[in-house]
Amino acid sequence: MKIAVYPGTFNPITNGHTDLVERAARLFDHIIVAVGINRQKTTTLSAQTRVELASQVLGHLPNVEVCAFDTLLTDFVKQRGANIILRGLRTVADFEYEFQLVGMNRVLEPSIETVFLAPAEHLSYISSTLVREIASYGGDISKFVHPVVAAAMMARAGQE
C-alpha cells in the first residue's frame, strides 16, 4: 500500500492545496494530510480549526485522512507506516527551500522519498500567506479557498 504524507501548516487550506491532494489521491492508496504544529510559527487559526477545515474541504476523497502532528516529520511518516512525503511546488522560489528539506529528510531517514506535485496553473499563485493578508483587510477570498474556509477566515477577521 502506497501511503503519502502531505505536511503543511494549512493556515488556511487553499484551493491550491486541495488541487494537490485531489491529484495525489489518484496516485496513492492513502494520503495523510498532516497539519503541522510548528513551534517556530504563530498561526492565525488553531491546529484544531485547521484540521476541521481541511477535513471538511477534503471530505469528498475517501482515501484522504487529516490529522495534526507536532513531531519531527520523518518520525511522523514512519509512525504512520508511510515512506513518501508529498510536497507542492508552486514557483521556482519554492524549489530552493524544498530542495533543502529533501536533503535534510534524507539524512534523517534515507528510506523516505519525497514526491513533488504542482498545482493546476490557474492556482499556482495562491498562497496561504496572501489569503490571510487579503482576509485581514476584509477582502474577498472566495476565489482562493473553499466556502467553509472563507467563512471561517471572515469570521476570524471580524473578531479582531
The residue from 50, 128, 132, 146 that is catalytic is 128
Quick check: is 41 catalytic? yes
What does the alpha-carbon distance between residue 51 and residue 116 come to, in Å, rounded to a whole number?
Answer: 22
Q: Is residue 115 within 8 Å of 84, Cβ to Cβ?
A: yes
**φ, ψ (nearest 5 deg) of residue 116:** -105, 140
Alpha-carbon gap, residue 146 to 123, rounded angstroms: 13
Identify the three-state secondary structure at position 127: coil
Asked if 90 is an active-site residue, the reply is yes
Cβ proximity of 158 and 30 under 8 Å: no
Catalytic residue, candidates 23, 30, 78, 90: 90
Q: Which residues of 43-75 are buried (b: 16+ CB within 10 A; e: fewer)?
A: bbbebebbbbbbbbbbeebeebbbeebeeebbe
Query: Per the residue annotation, which of 17, 87, 132, 146 is the catalytic one?
Result: 17
Among residues 26, 39, 41, 111, the one annotated as catalytic is: 41
Catalytic (active-site) positions: 17, 41, 90, 128
